[in-house]
């Protein structure tokens, strides 16, 4: 029920608006005695702020986290972990001017109809700013996964139709594109898009090495949890696992000629449960909604109007690129959640008294 | 947490295995005084058993529901509604022979690893048989939607690469394909696939007319709930809303040139909340896992083996077609759930004492 | 949210009305490979039907369970377990006559106001009949507890002011009263109460031997979960743990003079978590609402009226006694739930790779 | 599942330790457009710090709240409301000295066994400090209740055996005791208890005026939700509604001689749903665990030891008195939650299109 919570056994609850005093997250259900530092979390937050490429986002958001609770002498205690990120240097004045306009592709239309009130400054609650809290929580999830030898990795698969073909994770990329040739093309495209004041969509892929057994039938299928996680990211419009939409054109004799082929083409799960084979899924993102090209729209009073963003307004030409660490964080949250719940599945079969004696 | 429940405010819990005595569903949170009959539910169940086309499924599953609770004198009472569907004429003998083989694309591999035990008869809990319980619950959801003037419709969008182009919902189709030309091609393809003992994938689309305001930020976005619902259907491998994966190649100036275009291309939601514009999403299904063509696999003891289904084994060449009423049922469940939760959103703004005096 | 579900990790969902075709329960989250038989469940159901004493309940309810799902070849599979109990020999005619009268102490008043409709036959959903489903689920919970060396025991502590003083669990008692002298007095009181057509209240106690660590801060305190469980039983009006209400008159120097005294007087938990010391709590039950003595009431149309039960109406003079197996079942459900969730608490500290390799 | 959350439709999640940087709460599911100010919340927090009486608590905790999110221009927006309370002037040094001692009646014993780690400073997460976050959330709940004409009131019913008899809510009392004669006796007792370095238990009562229909069968009974809420308060050991434990000694002819008597003695609910009659319940609190009188205990290494609090240690002789605003806050949270969920119960019966047109 809680609208701002995600997860079943390992649950996060995020709060905060883009231009309010702060955003944050409460993590509930984290096992005790995990070593974690503020620096480890800040490092993940840095990934949301590429900086190195002038074509992604010019925003000055050097986010840093305060650990308010749940960590004692460098270790988690089992108590809820509250992380706070202050909103620094926000300037709400550009939003004042357009606050009575419905912005194409934005949430102010629906929020106003649903709630009768909208914190329009920087997109308020519907801003992608909220995802910083997810990335902070994801840092803790990823640290847990590391102790369990589980790894996951998100990366750019396609931007504006340019496909990533050869993956080389040893090279560094400011735009999370691990194919040298594709990266060059994409950077060129981003430059052009930015100059035009336009934006472009993209597809993010994610792989993970999981033990067998994560995910739960029937409604807790690993892919159902992942799909829900991914479609909760702003601007995401699609999710597919394994062959996904391409697989819909295949024959059974192609898609599952053998156990191995079938498992690979399924993306690493069978019956919604991880197989031990690599997991693979993709997420589609629409182009950024805010563009500097005039858009036809309506005022709240239903007058026709043309929306033109002021020249000094911030502008991120490709939201998909910034989504890479968010996809990774959300995937990590799902893996920790399913991992913790998996522990009891064969409790009886293990034939051991599973609780710790109180001696 | 409950692994076999779906929904927040309007929640279903399904149970039952393919070859057990019965399957069923408990519906919790249904408003009182909804008129509903056994016949209305059976009618929806009939859609899962097309029958008219020899190319979809030869199974003889004339399902009929027993209403065990929650309905009194033809109306719901607010108490949980339990629906039971007996499993008739099940023959588990074909499964006996292959019970020690991992079946490519099937869940017995993961269930055995996760639980150490598997009801192999007809796929047990992982069988698509479970979806009959969803369709029964969906019948009640659809009746509720009708009282609220909400409609939704699922249909075949693509089978084996053959696309549906012109929709004409006035015509009848045994394979839920409302384009005369495409239907002919698809039936021909199905005939061939069936003769080869092979199977084929497909894409199912769904549209709905919703009031503005359904869905909740942030993790309860309408598309996140729908994605989770759709990826919980057996054999589904992808979900996209609006332009989906195609939109990832578009520019912002194309995708949201105006409020109307942006809303339409987004598939009818903004910020995860319905806009009042038509909703549109698509679901990808892989080809049916069971084929009559030999498949390489392993035994539970890890020996290599070739799996060959016996000639008299049941065989459904295209699981996507049978998924149409399931997609529709799951969508209806999401719409009822979000609708009920939406009622309180503007409670204070309404300026009325919202409770009923006990006079 | 689900109104008819109880539990977090081990969850039950009950359904059914007193005079409908059947009642039942779906158990979700039960570990796989637990050996369980229909007979073991029926044996627990028998405890709800004392029979041996003519003073408790004359009803002929020989309940027997059908296992519809989740058990394969005598063992649980991890899939939801559905248990069905048919309602036999129900005669709704006595309720026809009084269906327009609000019955003092009964739920028809509130159900009618809340839902606008009420299945009046035998109390419908608000009938204590629903608790048979809990006892059936409790049988599975108790079997799990047994494999973990956890035991719990409920018993009569006080009926109509007559207190149980010396507990001797080796003796048998049709009224769950393990004090010979008190039993004699209580049976005499029950005889008198029954002859008068009246009813009487009582207090049920429960003890359990638990490992240290069950229960979760802050809102999942073991006593909070137990209190919620107990107050959900029909006719229960109070819950106390350890010294409970008596402890409110004590000084700190009396209540916690030492670690041992403090733990014992607290009832076996500290900070909401089990200590390994015996758990002890008590539940208060009001007298049965249905009596054969005339009661002043109102009709649905708000006319004053006197309610007189027909001479042949069923009459249970002390609902507290029949509650003993229900208290035990609900406690068992709480213990299994907290036990399963406790397994992950020290996951990292254990220093082992906690998942099963898929070899 | 979330261990630090309470509520179904209106949910709070609290975080923070006694001597950490801050405590706080996230409120999810609050309707939009409720006017609320920081001052209104601070006013409720002040009630936790009576100050006026030298016999309750000498602590200097002038708590003040920061509203981090969910409120825009003085009104709630439907987004999660995060409230932060800084921990000021905490001195952890007294706890350093006793950190290796199990403290009788305290949670460090169980936390250490469950989690293997404990933030011992001021009781860490198990400290009553956490309840300040509940009171802050309760302030918002109470504001909502006010708009719906619902009121609730908690007060001292009994301290150390001294009973409150005549209630006069027009008079002011620093110890929430609205009976002049009882107040005098209790203040005298508190003085003595304080001088002895001892502590004393007490009983808090709560009344509320509710519309008919709040609460849900079967596991969401109003009294089950309230019992769970009350037993989650530190030091609470019992809950009873209406006649409670006293009613267990009554006959049916006394307890429900008429519809009115039965409803009143039941405490205002029937079948777990509010009747419109006044609600009445009581909560038992054990004496404060920390006393200045030496207590026998063990070290973590299991040596016997005598615990003697240092003379300058803080000491609250009666935790029950400080619990009054907490009982009220938790009750308010339950009422808001059940009220919101009640709105849909008769949705269909109302015969109106319940959604807002998006025009």
- Provide the pLDDT for residue B312: 73
Cβ-defined contact of D240 to C241 (cutoff 8 Å): no
Q: Does the pLDDT at position C355 exceed 60?
A: no
The continuous run of DSSP H or E covering B137 comes out as helix B131-147
The pLDDT-based confidence of C90 (bands split at 50, 70, 90) is confident
Q: What does C272-303 look like in DSSP terms, one character per residue?
A: TEE-SSPEEEEEEEPPPS--SS-EEEEBTT--
**CB of C251 less than 8 A from some CB of A:** no
In chain C, beta strands by DSSP E: 5-6, 11-15, 22-28, 65-67, 71-72, 75-76, 81-86, 151-159, 162-163, 202-209, 236-241, 269-270, 273-274, 279-285, 295-298, 304-307
Sign of the Cα pseudo-torsion (B136, B137, B142, B144, in order): positive
Which chain C residue is nearest to residue B82, measuring alpha carbons? C15
Tokens representing residue B84 in the block: 């039971």
Interface test with C, best of A338, A344, A354 (most C CBs within 10 A): A344
The yes-or-no verdict on residue C306 having pLDDT over 60 is: yes
Q: Residue D81: beta bridge partners? A: D27
Residues 166-195 of D with CB under 8 A from B: none
Rounded percentage of chain B residues whose pLDDT exceeds 70 = 92
Q: Is the pLDDT of residue D58 over 80?
A: no
With pLDDT > 90 as the criterion, what percentage of chain C qualifies?
A: 79
Quick check: C358 pLDDT over 80?
no
Round to whole Å and give the CA distance between C179 and C177. 6
D352 — pLDDT class (breaks 50, 70, 90):
very low
Are the CB atoms for B239 and A239 separated by under 8 Å?
yes
Q: How far from each other are the two terminal CA atoms of chain A, in whole angstroms?
A: 40
For residue C106, the Cα-to-chain-centroid distance in whole angstroms is 18
Nearest residue of B to residue C9 by CA position?
B1
Q: Is the pLDDT assigned to residue C231 strictly greater than 80?
A: yes
The alpha-carbon gap from B184 to the nearest alpha carbon of chain C, in Å, equals 41
pLDDT at B70 over 90: yes
Q: Distance (Å, rounded) from C-alpha B140 to C-alpha B153?
A: 15
What number of other Cβ atoms are within 10 A of residue A57's Cβ? 21
Under DSSP, the state recorded for C206 is E
What is the model's pLDDT at position D57?
A: 54
Smallest Cα distance from B48 to chain C, Å? 22
Q: CB of B27 within 8 A of CB of B70?
A: yes
Nearest to D113 among A4, A29, A358 (CB): A358
| Predicted confidence (pLDDT) per residue in B169-220, tens digit | 998 999 999 999 999 999 999 999 999 999 999 999 999 999 999 999 999 9
- The per-residue pLDDT for range D180-228, each reduced to its tens digit, is 999 999 999 999 999 999 999 999 999 999 999 999 999 999 999 999 9
Q: Does pLDDT of B47 surpass 70? A: yes
B213 touches A213 (CB < 8 A) = no
| Nearest alpha-carbon partner for D43 in D319, D331, D328, D339 | D328
DSSP of B1-44: --TTEE-SSSEEEEE--TTSSEEEEEEESPPTT-B--HHHHHHH
In a mutational test of the B interface, the residue from A29, A119, A245 whose CB has the highest number of chain B CBs within 10 Å is: A245
Residue C110 has pLDDT above 80, yes or no: yes
Beta-carbon separation of B344 and D340 below 8 A:
yes
Q: How many CB atoms lie within 10 A of CB D304?
A: 10
* Residues of chain B positioned with their CB less than 8 A from the CB of D69: none
Q: Which of B22, B79, B111 sits opposite C68 (nearest CB)?
A: B22
Which chains touch C (3+ CB pairs under 8 A)? A, B, D
Confidence of residue D95 (pLDDT cuts 50, 70, 90): confident
The CA-atom distances, in angstroms, between C303 and each of B322, D255, D260 are 56, 22, 14
Q: How many CB pairs under 8 A join C and D?
A: 375
Is D117 close to A72, i.e. CB distance below 8 A? Answer: yes
Higher-confidence residue of A349 and D294: namely D294
Residues facing residue D4 across a β-bridge = none
Residue C75: pLDDT above 90?
A: yes
Q: Does A35 contact D at CB distance below 8 Å?
A: no
Q: What residues pair up with C17 in beta bridges, in sequence order?
A: none
Give the B:C interface size as CB pairs under 8 Å.
167
Separation in Å, CA of B231 to nearest CA in chain A: 5
Say if residue C72's pLDDT is above 50.
yes
Residue B50 has pLDDT above 80, yes or no: no
Tell me, yes or no, if D255 comes closer than 8 A to chain C by beta carbon: yes
Chain C residues with CB under 8 Å of A339 CB are 355
Residues D142 and D336: their CA atoms lie apart, in Å, by 8
Q: Where are the beta strands (DSSP E) in B253-293?
A: 269-270, 273-274, 279-285
Kindly state the average pLDDT of the residues D275-286: 97
Residue B120 has pLDDT above 50, yes or no: yes
Q: Nearest 5 degrees, angle CA A147-CA A152-CA A155?
A: 150
Residue D354, both tokens? 């319940």
Q: Flag whether residue D294 sits within 8 Å of chain C, measured between CB atoms.
A: no
Neighbours of A112 (CB within 10 A): 15
Average pLDDT, chain D: 91
Q: What is the pLDDT of residue A170?
A: 93
Residue among D117, D358, D359 with most chain A CBs within 10 A, to mutate: D117
Decide if pLDDT at B344 tops 70. Answer: no
Is ipTM strictly over 0.90? yes
Could you read off the pLDDT of B54-67 as tens digits, one per residue? 565 555 658 999 99
Q: Which chains are adjacent to chain A, needing at least 3 Cβ pairs under 8 Å?
A: B, C, D
Which pLDDT score, from 0 to 100, does residue C327 have? Answer: 98
Per-residue model confidence as pLDDT tens digits over B134-153: 999 999 999 999 988 899 99
| D61 — pLDDT class (breaks 50, 70, 90) | low
CA closest to A25 among chain D residues? D26
Angle ∠(D172,D178,D181) on CA atoms, nearest 5: 110
Output the average pLDDT for chain C. 91
Low-confidence ranges of chain A (pLDDT < 70): 1, 50-61, 344-359
CB–CB contact B238 A237 (8 Å) = no
**Residue A2, pLDDT score:** 81
- Averaged pLDDT for residues C311-334: 92
Q: What is the pLDDT of residue B54?
A: 58
3-state secondary structure D14-56: EECCCCCCEEEEEEECCCCCCECCHHHHHHHHHHCCCCCCCCC
Q: What is the DSSP letter of B330?
A: H
Residues of B in contact with D217 (CB under 8 A): 79
At B310 the pLDDT is 78
**Yes or no, beta carbons of D2 and A11 under 8 Å apart:** yes
User: Nearest-CA distance from D88 to chain A in Å?
Assistant: 14
Q: Which residues contact A9 (CB under 8 A, 6 or more apart)?
A: A29, A337, A340, A341, B1, C9, C341, C344, D1
DSSP, res B53: -
d(CA A301, CA A64): 40
Instruction: Pick from A18, A30, A33, A80 the residue to mutate for testing the D interface (most D CBs within 10 Å).
Output: A80
In the DSSP assignment, the letter for residue C71 is E
Closest CA to C246 of D158, D205, D192, D321: D158
Closest partner residue to A201 (CB to CB) among B226, B247, B295 is B247
Count the helices and strands in chain A (H runs, E runs). 11, 16
Range B24-40 average pLDDT? 95
Asked if B292 is an interface residue toward chain A (Cβ–Cβ < 8 A), one would say: no
Q: What is the pLDDT of residue C227?
A: 98
**B77–C119 CB contact, under 8 Å:** yes
CA distance to C159, C257, D103, D287, per residue, from C252 (Å): 31, 7, 13, 5
What value does the mean pLDDT take over residues D106-112?
Answer: 93
Among A343-347, D232-236, D244-248, the range scoring the smallest mean pLDDT is A343-347
For the record, the structure tokens of B72 come out as 């009194």
Helix crossing, D38-47 with D130-147: angle to 10°? Answer: 120
The residue among D233, D289, D156, D101 whose CA lies nearest residue C254 is D289
Burial D329-355 (b: 16+ CB within 10 A, else e): bbbbbbbbbbbbbbbbbbbbbeeeebb
Cα separation values, C345 from A35, A335, C338, Å: 15, 17, 11
- Interface contact flag, C16 B82, Cβ < 8 Å: yes
Query: Residue C310: is its pLDDT beyond 50?
Result: yes
**What pLDDT does A347 receive?**
52
Check: CB of residue D33 under 8 Å from CB of residue B348. yes
D313 to chain C, any CB pair closer than 8 A? The answer is no
| Chain C residues inside the 8 Å CB shell of D9 | 1
Q: Are the C-beta atoms of B128 and B234 separated by less than 8 Å? A: yes
Q: Quick one: tokens of D330?
A: 């938790």
**Cis status of the peptide bond prior to B218, with omega within 30 of 0:** yes
pLDDT in the model for residue B73: 96
A75 contacts in chain D (CB < 8 Å): 117
pLDDT at B94 over 90: no
**Residue B58: its pLDDT value, please?**
53
Q: Under an 8 A CB cutoff, do D248 and C286 touch? A: yes
Which H helix or E strand runs over D299?
A: none
From CA D82, how far away is CA C181, in angstroms rounded? 58
Of D8, D248, D346, which has the smallest distance from its Cβ to C116's Cβ?
D346
Candidates C102, C248, C293; nearest CB to D259: C102
DSSP assignment of B198-217 equals --B-EEEEEEEE--TT-SBT
Q: How far is A134 from chain D (nearest CA, A)?
A: 15
pLDDT at D223: 98
Select from C32, A243, A205, A228 the least CA-distant residue to B105: A243
Q: Which tens digit of pLDDT belongs to each residue from D124-143?
A: 999 999 999 999 999 999 99
């Amino acid at each position: 029920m809680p609208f701002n919570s995600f997860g079943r056994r390992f649950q996060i609850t995020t709060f905060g608006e883009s231009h309010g005093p702060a955003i944050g997250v409460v993590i509930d259900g984290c096992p005790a005695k995990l070593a974690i530092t503020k620096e480890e979390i800040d490092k993940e937050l840095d990934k949301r702020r590429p900086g190195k490429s002038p074509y992604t986002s010019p925003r000055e958001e050097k986010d840093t986290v305060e650990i308010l609770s749940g960590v004692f002498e460098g270790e988690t205690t089992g108590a809820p972990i509250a992380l706070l990120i202050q909103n620094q240097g926000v300037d709400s004045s550009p939003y004042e001017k357009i606050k009575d306009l419905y912005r194409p592709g934005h949430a102010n239309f629906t929020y106003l109809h649903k709630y009768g009130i909208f914190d329009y400054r920087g997109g308020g609650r519907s801003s992608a700013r909220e995802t910083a809290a997810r990335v902070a929580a994801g840092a803790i999830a990823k640290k847990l996964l590391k102790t369990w030898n589980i790894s996951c990795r998100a990366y750019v698969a396609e931007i504006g139709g340019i496909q990533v073909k050869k993956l080389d994770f040893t090279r560094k990329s400011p735009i999370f594109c691990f194919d040298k040739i594709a990266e060059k093309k994409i950077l060129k495209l981003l430059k052009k898009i930015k100059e035009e004041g336009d934006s472009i969509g993209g597809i993010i892929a994610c792989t993970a090495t999981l033990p067998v057994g994560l995910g739960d039938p029937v409604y807790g299928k690993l892919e159902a949890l992942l799909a829900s996680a991914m479609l909760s990211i702003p601007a995401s419009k699609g999710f597919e696992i394994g062959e996904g939409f391409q697989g819909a054109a295949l024959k059974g004799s192609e898609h599952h000629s053998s156990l191995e082929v079938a498992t690979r083409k399924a993306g690493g799960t069978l019956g919604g449960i991880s197989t031990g084979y690599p997991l693979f899924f993709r997420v589609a993102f629409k182009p950024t909604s805010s563009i500097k090209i005039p858009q036809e729209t309506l005022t709240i009073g239903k007058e026709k109007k043309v929306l033109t963003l002021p020249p000094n307004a911030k502008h991120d030409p490709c939201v998909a690129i910034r989504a890479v660490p968010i996809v990774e964080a959300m995937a990590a949250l799902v893996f920790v959640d399913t991992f913790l719940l998996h522990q009891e599945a064969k409790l009886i079969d293990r034939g051991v008294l599973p609780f710790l004696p109180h001696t």
